[in-house]
Amino acid sequence: MRKTISQDDLAILGEVERKVLWLATWTIHYANHIRDSTDGLKVGGHQASSASLVTIMTALYFRLLRPQDRVAVKPHASPNFHAIQYLLGKQTRERLENFRGFKGAQSYPSRTKDVDDVDFSTGSVGLGAAQTLFSSLVQDYVRAHGWGLHRPDGRMVALLGDAELDEGNIFECLLEGWKQGVRNCWWVVDYNRQSLDAVIREGLWQRYEELFRNFGWDVVILKYGSLLEAAFREPGGEALRQWIDRCPNQLYSALVFQGGAAWRKHLESDIGDQDAVSKLIGSRSDADLARLMTNLAGHDLPTLVEAFERVDHDRPVCFIGYTIKGYGLPFAGHKDNHAGLMTTAQMERFRQTMNVRPGQEWERFEGLHETPERLQRFLDEVPFAAGGPRRLTARRFATPAELAVAVQPEMSTQTGFGALLNELAREPSELVARIVTTSPDVTVSTNLGSWVNRRGLFAREASADIFKSERIPSTFNWEFSASGQHIELGIAEMNLFILLSALGLSHTINGERLIPIGTLYDPFIARGLDALNYACYQDARFILVATPSGITLAPEGGAHQSIAEPLIGMAQDGIAAFEPAFVDELAGILAFALDYIQKDGDGDLSEQNWLRDETGGSIYLRLSTRPIEQIKRAMTAPLRQAIVDGAYWLREPGPNCQVVVAYAGAVAPEAIQAVGLMAEDRRDVGLLAVTSADRLNAGWTAAMRARERGLVHARSHIERLFAQLPTNCGLVTVVDGHPATLAWLGSVNGHRVRPLGVEHFGQTGTIADLYCYYGIDANAIIAAAQAITPGAPIRHLKAM
Ligand SMILES: Cc1ncc(C[n+]2csc(CCOP(=O)(O)OP(=O)(O)O)c2C)c(N)n1
Ligand SMILES: [Mg+2]
């Protein structure tokens, strides 16, 4: 039903709009000019960029949005968001005063660092918008599986800057959204025709319109406000409309900045010779003329409310809202205003126009015409704020201590992963029902095929596999249904990570926990790295399985080989990286992962490994396609724990150990062979299997920190493993990845270390060719051992 807004409601909404503009602008001013900042840095805060979205955000937050709706706010409109939450009683004055300060309101809305109920973090432009699209898909997924049906459908809303549409991930997600039938998603583009540096290209709105329509979206162009529409109906109004329609963005911006007299001069010289037009212009004062000419729809509450309330369907909608960057502020329209800050004198004048008395700047109703009671009543009834905490919770699902898998004599970790998922797929448990897998067109080649055969592909509308109905033999069953548990994506890795982010926040967004597992080729993590970072920053929970990896995928060549990923795994906050060599290790790690990603407590560091195991996080498994001989052994609880903590002795070093070889992942056979070959010439050689350089390193640094704070008995896992090593033994580390991954092991107890690994792009060849060429084969390990340890030449060392 279409409702029209009453004059009363409009008046009060207008008051709130003024207040949001004031508070957001003041917050930024306070941080820059008033708060004691001793380091001499201006903290910035984007007054112009914020002001641009004030009216749109007022219409949405104070009228349109419902508790079930979720919003990604343009990063630079963060002050508006905090001001709105402050008005609604969900943000404190203290945090606003401390905007951009330590533990203050965040520069860009942050789920994890802000306290005022941010739905989606933003900051890296483009990603927030995509997050809303994928969150709509996840909402559909959850509901199609019969969960959370007691809650109404939410709308996922993104407020984005026009320059955000330059980001490639926007197009990638639009295409994917079209394939998946996205709905309940609104994007509102703040079309201020300015980016960071300058005024943008002419006519972009037409490209956007065509683009969105092509991808199945409704497009609503919000160009003129109600004042302008009324003026267009006056005699001469049509000529005025044509003039504005033809006015280049740059000139329009310049005139906005200059004000009434400049508008008059330009209009008179261009169209003032027409009688009716000159009357239309002449009947207005400079101030009225400026108000009229800047009355774009994005700053016109009645137009916005009407347009938003008119939508009575669940199709995705893109609103292109014409706005002015810095609207209502002295640098409105100026092309350099992105980082512009109002001076103290400008702020003083602004304070006067806003009726705010000195000392009353933070008072919520200061300077407004409505009574505080009426305003408070209005705020108390804002639908968006009526739903209680926006952060939902969901229960955890019990995970098995051990996962079943038949270990073959020779196997790769990738095959092991496929076999583990195949076994899981047979289980009718609640946990398995919550697993959702996804992959960017590498489902089959990352070994998810048998899982998909058992659990099916997800689509709201079922579609059959024609190959199957035509009885054409095929290994894979490609049937879609609403109960399917695999979401097949196109090749875009950015989409994979943003979908994982949306799936991995389902417990808090939809109140329904999912266990997301995404697979891709290891090198292409780099393609989606910013989106991965974004997912982690929001504390989304998922398991990432990257395979194949390293130069071990030898014949595929340099473009497919990954070197830096082990370091990414270590450095990326929020994700624990593992690189097992054997399938029984992988089984233990996967069992741990299924539990770890469900933990969302604020747990302390565990004193056993000095890791944040109670807090949980996401998991990255770097796997390999190389079949290697498996070790026949019984898995014991201590071994499983050591694997999860990051390392164990595959061969204990003796008391007079001269060399330790520490390896990670697919190079295990080379390390084992090298240790065997040097055993005659070096005493008590140890072989350390590193299953997680990331956790091993994190535990070590955390334990050091704990000791520095006085916990003298803090010991990390690696320190315990190395405790008995003689100080003069050498350490050779080897990994199919950057050597720095394990080189730090030498610092734990001051051992001399020779780190082997890959530093340069590979080329095609056999594994043997490449391991030899890049120096990570058994011979290279032996050579390194000989170079750093005293003693007779090692007999098995071949000339290199
Ligand atoms: C991925 C990324 N690249 C660069 C930036 C730096 N940056 C911040 S805002 C901005 C341009 C903003 O223009 P627009 O989206 O039109 O927003 P406006 O301020 O005009 O509302 C840029 C380049 C960023 N935040 N994220
Ligand atoms: Mg812009």
What does the radius of gyration of the chain's CA atoms come to, in whole angstroms?
31
522 vs 552: CA distance, rounded Å? 11
Distance CA 459, CA 46 (A): 42
CA of 327 to the centre of ligand 2 (A): 12
**Do 473 and 485 contact (CB within 8 A), yes or no?**
no
Closest ligand 1 atom to 165 CA: 15
Average pLDDT over residues 704-722: 96
For residues 575 and 642, give the distance between their C-alpha atoms in angstroms, rounded to a whole number.
19
Smallest-distance ligand from the CA of 53: 1
CA distances (Å), origin 435, targets 431, 518, 571: 7, 10, 27
Q: Residue 627 has what pLDDT?
A: 98
Residues with CB under 5 A from ligand 2 (ion): 161-163, 192, 194
Closest by CA to 183, choosing from 144, 212, 155, is 155
Mutation choice for ligand 1 from 108, 169, 190, 196, CB with most ligand atoms inside 8 A: 196
Q: What is the pLDDT of residue 603?
A: 76
- Our mutation pick for probing the ligand 1 site, out of 107, 127, 192, 195, counting the most ligand atoms within 8 A of Cβ, is 195
pLDDT higher than threshold 70 for residue 678? yes
- Residue 36: predicted pLDDT: 73
> Closest ligand 1 atom, CA of 46?
19
Please, what is the average pLDDT of the chain? Answer: 95
Name the 3-class secondary structure at 648. Answer: strand
Closest CA to 505 of 68, 80, 139: 139
Atom of ligand 1 nearest to the CA of 108: 25
Q: What is the pLDDT of residue 504?
A: 98
Pocket test for ligand 1, best of 74, 125, 189, 325 (most atoms within 8 A of CB): 125
Query: Can you tell me the mean pLDDT for 481-489?
Result: 97
- Atom index in ligand 1 nearest the CA of residue 190 equals 21
Ligand 1, atom 9, lies closest to the CA of 196
Per-residue pLDDT, 798? 83
How far does the centroid of ligand 2 lie from the alpha carbon of residue 196, in Å?
7
Structure token pair of residue 518: 């995404």
Nearest CA to ligand 1 atom 25: 124
**What mean pLDDT do residues 587-596 have?**
98
Segment 212-222 shows an average pLDDT of 97
The first and second tokens of residue 415, run together, are 């095959």
Nearest CA to ligand 1 atom 15: 161
Q: From the alpha carbon of 194, which atom of ligand 1 is closest?
A: 20
Question: What's the CA gap between 769 and 21, in Å, rounded?
Answer: 65
Average pLDDT over residues 379-407: 93
Helix (H) or strand (E) holding 659: strand 659-664
pTM comes to: 0.96
Could you tell me the pLDDT band of residue 601, with boundaries at 50, 70 and 90?
confident
Residue 3 has pLDDT above 70, yes or no: no
Residues in a beta bridge with 487: 438
Atom of ligand 1 nearest to the CA of 162: 16
**Beta carbons within 8 Å of 227's beta carbon, 6+ residues apart:** 291, 292, 295, 300
Which one-letter DSSP state was computed for residue 436? E
Whether the upstream peptide bond of residue 555 has omega within 30° of 0, thus cis, is no
- Segment (H or E) for 576: strand 575-578
Of 282-296, 604-618, 626-640, 783-797, the range with the lowest mean pLDDT is 604-618
Please state the length of the chain.
800
Q: Cβ-count burial of 505 within 10 angstroms (0-12 exposed, 13-18 middle, 19+ buried)?
A: buried
Nearest protein Cα to ligand 1, atom 17 = 161
348-384: pLDDT as tens digits: 999 999 999 999 999 999 999 999 999 999 999 999 9
pLDDT higher than threshold 50 for residue 78 = yes
Q: Of 330-344, 391-405, 421-435, 462-476, which range is least confident? A: 462-476
Q: Output the CA 691–ligand 1 centroid distance in Å.
A: 40
Coil, strand, or helix at residue 252?
helix
The type of residue at 220 is V
Return the residue matching tokens 């000139």.
Answer: 251
Q: How far is the CA of 49 from the centre of ligand 1 (A)?
A: 9
Q: Band of the pLDDT at 800, cuts 50, 70, 90?
A: low
**Please, which residues bridge with residue 457 across strands?**
480, 486
Task: Please give the distance, rounded to the nearest whole angstrom, from the Cα atom of residue 76 to the centre of ligand 2.
Answer: 10
DSSP 256-303: HHH-HHHHHHHHHHHHTTSHHHHHHHHTS-HHHHHHHHT-BGGG-HHH
Mutate to test the pocket of ligand 1, among 47, 49, 110 (most ligand atoms within 8 A of CB): 49
The ligand 1 atom at the shortest distance from the C-alpha of residue 530 is 1
Q: Ligand 1, atom 26: nearest CA belongs to which residue?
A: 124
The number of the ligand 1 atom at minimal distance from the alpha carbon of 164 is 15
Q: Whose CA is nearest to atom 22 of ligand 1?
A: 196
Asked if residues 218 and 245 have their Cβ atoms less than 8 Å apart, the reply is no
Q: What is the pLDDT of residue 607?
A: 83
**Residue 728 token pair:** 């003069």
Ligand 1 shell residues, CB under 6 Å? 49, 52, 74-76, 124-125, 161-164, 190, 192, 194-196, 325, 338
| Centroid of ligand 1 to alpha carbon of 777 (angstroms) | 47
Q: Name the DSSP class of 369.
A: S
d(C-alpha 429, C-alpha 432), whole Å? 5
Report d(CA 543, CA 103) in Å as an integer: 30
For residue range 90-134, what is the model confidence (pLDDT) as tens digits?
999 999 999 999 999 999 999 999 999 999 999 999 999 999 999
Question: Is the pLDDT at 550 greater than 90, yes or no?
Answer: yes
Q: How confident is the model at residue 38 (pLDDT cuts 50, 70, 90)?
A: low
DSSP E strands: which ranges in 175-331? 185-191, 218-222, 317-322
Question: What number does the ligand 1 atom closest to the CA of 196 have?
Answer: 11
Which amino acid belongs to residue 594?
Answer: L
> Going edge to edge, which strands form the sheet with 647-651?
647-651, 686-690, 659-664, 730-735, 752-756
Q: Are strands 647-651 and 686-690 parallel, antiparallel or unpaired?
A: antiparallel
Structure tokens, 543: 């398991």
Residue 1 has pLDDT above 60, yes or no: no
Determine the pLDDT at residue 99: 94
Residue 540 CA to residue 519 CA, distance in Å, equals 16
Q: pLDDT tens digits for 50-61?
A: 999 999 999 999
